Chains A and B, each alone.
Chain A
């Protein structure tokens, strides 16, 4: 394997390279290209600066010749985490070699060649559990589900649905044969499954892909039965379709469609148009471009911001999720969410709705579990969606920042309810980075099936498990967290939604003053809480929380066994 990498490396070391980073004076040192990293070491005796850049995180690379008759070159590297670096390299040939190595090694096609398969930190062992939750666990923990819902292994070989996990939660009344038939009526086999159970009233959120009704308005008894079995005779369920009514109508021409009122008597359908795919990716590109614009012209900035439409996508995501949450919590209806494939906007809406409704998903562990269930296991195609970020000039294929949009919307929730989430913005930034390029295997691949085939769980470390380690967790916790059982209803007024400066201005001075503020909050809380601890109520909530986490750890161990 190493042979293959070395083919791409013609020049491994270059001396006297000048590195220009945002907010730092230029550094001189040695640049080294390895199979997965760019390593830059400042040439200084003590306290020298080292940069270790994962090649996978390179989104775009620009090279130009400088110096007399092109005797040296400059490489500008634009990263997927929006950072921009510049290397001035003496020697034209060296520069070209380094550039072509970066180009080749940053876009390796084979998943098993990627760094997570080589990342072996001393403190982690491959035998540690991979992942935090599973449908089994979710089912086992929710006793009240048991009389009405069951675990089905109909997909144990991934034969019914390629992008679903092996086990799913479905109504008891529906047997596996019916499920398989219903699956054949849904795009990609993504039949309706349970993703959230609302304890206070027993209502549920389900998700699926679109039904394949086609131009002839085909129907599928089994699919109708499945949805009917999810609610009582007397109840009314809501289908939140993340497409516009017109889009849904047009989808029939391509074999897709929507649930017709005539066949799904107890379900009411509402349409909320959420942008997806290319539109969303272009929106991100425009926004990042606007944020990097050095122009001092206010009108130009505002019209670029408006033009990018990013904030209006955040708005639609939050308001649709709010609608779902409202159906469940206030009006007492179960909800099915789907769009086209049910792997992007659908997951965005279901996971945000859970954040609004479910206090458990707002804890550190709970949030990671939510992401694991609703994105990793539910088959969000990370591999395609996060192949490139906003800087890439490569022709867009299936890139789409749906996951980034989720993180942004989550940040908006955290801004409006700064005490309600147990994790801080730092975690969201870390996730935004790792979804695109990571040392860990969590966001590799596009489905459980692929992960199994490539033995990802056996050969990589799990990001979520890593983040939960005590010393890591500390970095990402919100010091102001106070658990609340209430739903957190976000305001979706345009005035209430803001540009996520933490992400989009991450590599500016602004981020530094924000870091300072965050540290200061930590200091204050630590100081104050230290003195409170032996006497106050803060202690009891903490310890209760600890024991809760312990139970969860125990659950993990049980599953491993």
Chain B
């Protein structure tokens, strides 16, 4: 807590998106959160922002009304604060800069966070998602595929998981030889096995082929993958990069497979751009939208073009596997960004299991966490090279959202599930998304020192349910249209905190509330009948049974501790943080202390105005 220069500042203004209307409140800095408390006569509204969620802090130039501080978050929240004094602003600024990106892993929130679980519960939580179980669900091992522990000590490939799906015919020499010929040792390994067609999706990194190098073992490895699928005489090798990028890599001794050296492969480029292009595209997307040229800005950001390129590649894979029964080997450069996106998307398309709440966890655990998507670097958890940061996982989540939009009945989860996962990827509250690969996670002893997110999500799954989910009719492959007109800006993600832009009433929440009430009433009815039978009386007037509809499905606890007590004192601050642990959801949400009635259900009251309209009206003059 040495980085906390100032525990709280009073009379801080919070400006709205347009810098117009503002509220006055107190700003608190705790070890883990920035908290803005707006104290009105009757209401007390708190805005919590986790330090890890802060992506940038800017000091804008001084104005008459105060010193502005602009805070951008990785959850796309934006806080525009006006502090009364320059010195305080500087202190808050300095503290946040230090707090939002710690230098060492030990400072991450997950190592502080304790959701009041016993050691056994913690262990069970981590065991909830297990790769071996997923392999056996896919039907492994079988006559073609083996589960190999050749990488159990991470010596073959330091960034791969300990368990690998490998073709049965591949010898140790083939496997190790192939690993040596692949960038960072990321050899071809099974991502997904499609039971119906016996086709497999495999992933790896680029080969070190340069301009003319070959590797017999690698060629053998691909042949083994081909042989593992008796129905199809060839495999697709999909390089997800643009051809130009792949060619440039050849000059550096890397590159792509030469079809002449690998018999029976069909080679394809997919043209997904690299992490740097994606990073700047998102930057543009977030800057652009203004009133008049919204669509122009959307187009020039290129964001939807990139999303479509990921989706196209995923669809290509799914079609190859499902329609042609062909196995596919996917890579990009290192095989941990684009490859992860494309393979996991293909799984969502191919297998209804990954469209369930649990299934998506398994998928993320396998394709992203265990196959070494560099969450530490890509999310900027720690102070480091900003050029390593890139919204690769965000894009995957968005692709899934687009599928949910096209197939409203095919997913067990709703939008808020995607959002909460996305939040937690950046939050570092649970250990799941810390580190760059499985080996690093083990070295950090995350399983002993932190908690897993998945049990928490499962416990609260009622609110993530998609009421329209119809598993029975969506038990096969999804065939989305990838025509450009099916891609739209995801307001629910990128303008999530601009409540005015969201639909004011939510179909999902209404249906969930309806379902909840329904089940509760049924429970009550059964209970009443049981009691009536027990007591030997008839059931009483049923009219009294109806329950108040709770939009959120469960009551939310609000932090009640008064922050005045904290005074920068370490212990009481962590008590504050501890006080809200029950509601792990509330990392950065706004709520009112008086009965959290701020649900989507609420209609705009007479006092708030549609901003755009008011402002225009004032400007008009009688010019004639």
Binding site for B on A (CB under 8 A): 245, 248-249, 258, 260-261, 268-271, 290-291, 294-303, 305-306, 311, 319, 322-323, 326, 329-330, 415-420, 480, 484, 486-496, 498-499, 505, 508-510, 513-514, 516-517, 520-521, 524-525, 527-529, 531-532, 534-537
Contacts and interface: CB of A to CB of B under 8 A. Distances in A.
Nearest to A290: B485
Contacts of A330: 606, 609
A148 B597 CA distance: 41
16 contacts: A245-B623, A261-B622, A271-B620, A291-B485, A298-B304, A301-B484, A302-B295, A302-B304, A322-B613, A323-B616, A417-B505, A505-B485, A508-B481, A510-B481, A517-B468, A532-B521
A491 B501 contact: yes
A245 B546 contact: no
Nearest to B482: A296
Contacts of A494: 289, 291, 294-295
7 smallest A-B Cβ distances: which pairs? A301-B484, A494-B294, A306-B295, A517-B408, A302-B299, A298-B305, A528-B518
B624 A249 contact: yes
Most chain-A Cβ atoms within 10 A of its Cβ — which of B517, B521, B603, B614? B603
B500 A493 contact: yes
A495 B507 CA distance: 19
A72 to B, nearest CB: 31
Contact of A514 (B304, B408, B485): B408
B511 interface: yes
Interface stretch (B214-222, B445-453, B487-495): B487-495
A297 B620 CA distance: 41
B406 A510 contact: yes
Given A296-B484, A416-B503, A489-B610, 5 more contacts: A417-B503, A419-B510, A491-B501, A532-B521, A537-B546
A517 B408 CA distance: 6
B542 A534 contact: yes
Nearest to B620: A270
B93 interface: no
Nearest to B522: A531
A264 to B, nearest CB: 11
B188 interface: no
A516 B408 contact: yes
Majority SS at the chain A contact face:
helix
Given A521-B507, A532-B518, A245 B409 contact: no
A525 B468 CA distance: 11
Interface in B215-256: none
B296 interface: yes
Interface string B163-201: 000000000000000000000000000000000000000
Given A322-B610, A489-B604, A532-B521, A499 B488 contact: yes
Interface of B: 289, 291, 294-296, 298-299, 302, 304-305, 308, 312, 406-409, 467-468, 470, 473, 481-489, 491, 495, 498, 500-507, 510-511, 514-515, 517-518, 521-522, 542-543, 545-546, 601, 603-606, 609-610, 612-614, 616-617, 620, 622-624
Given A261-B622, A520-B468, A535-B546, A299 B305 contact: yes
A521 B546 contact: no
Given A296-B482, A326-B610, A268 B622 contact: yes
Residue from B289, B409, B485, B543 with most neighbouring chain A CB atoms (10 Å): B485
Nearest to A303: B299
Nearest to B610: A489
Contact of B624 (A258, A415, A520, A534): A258
Given A290-B485, A302-B304, A516-B408, A326 B609 contact: yes
A484 B481 CA distance: 38
A422 to B, nearest CB: 14
B603 A486 contact: yes
Contact of A418 (B468, B491, B505): B505
Contacts of A537: 546
A136 B308 CA distance: 56
A517 B468 CA distance: 6
Contacts of A505: 485
B540 to A, nearest CB: 12
Contact of A498 (B296, B486, B488): B488
A516 B617 contact: no
Given A488-B504, A495-B289, A496-B491, A299 B612 contact: no
Contacts of B515: 524, 528
Given A306-B299, A489-B610, A495-B489, A535 B484 contact: no
A486 B514 CA distance: 22
A109 B603 CA distance: 48
Given A416-B503, A496-B491, A535-B542, A295 B622 contact: no
Contacts of B481: 508-510
A529 B543 CA distance: 14
B468 A521 contact: yes
Contacts of B296: 303, 306
Most B C-beta atoms less than 10 A away, residue of A248, A270, A510, A537: A510
Contacts of B613: 319, 322-323, 326, 492
Contacts of B487: 298
A323 B617 contact: yes
B394 to A, nearest CB: 17
Nearest to A245: B623
A329 B624 CA distance: 27
A536 B485 contact: no
A218 to B, nearest CB: 15
A245 B621 CA distance: 10
Given A306-B299, A509-B481, A495 B491 contact: yes
A365 B446 CA distance: 62
A524 B514 contact: yes
B484 A524 contact: no
A284 B622 CA distance: 33
Nearest to B614: A326
Contact of A294 (B308, B407, B483, B612): B483
B467 A524 contact: yes
A416 B470 CA distance: 25
Q: Which of the listed residues A271, A496, A528 has the most CB atoms from chain B within 10 Å of its own CB?
A: A528
B543 A535 contact: yes
A416 B294 CA distance: 19
B491 A298 contact: no
A245 B620 CA distance: 10
A289 to B, nearest CB: 12
A139 to B, nearest CB: 28
A494 to B, nearest CB: 4
Contacts of B291: 493-494
A249 B484 CA distance: 42
A494 B491 CA distance: 10
Nearest to A493: B501
Contact of B505 (A300, A305, A419, A520): A419
Contacts of A509: 481
Contact of A520 (B294, B302, B409, B488): B409
B612 A319 contact: yes
Contacts of A311: 295
B484 A297 contact: yes
Contacts of A306: 295-296, 299
A484 B603 contact: yes
Contacts of A496: 491, 501-502
Residue from the set A261, A418, A499 with the largest chain B CB neighbour count within 10 Å: A418
Nearest to B291: A494
Contacts of A486: 603-606
Residue of A260, A270, A300, A311 with highest tally of chain B CB at under 10 A: A270
Contacts of A245: 623-624
A10 B614 CA distance: 62
Contacts of A420: 505, 603
A302 B484 contact: yes
Nearest to B486: A510
A323 B406 CA distance: 34
A306 B292 CA distance: 10
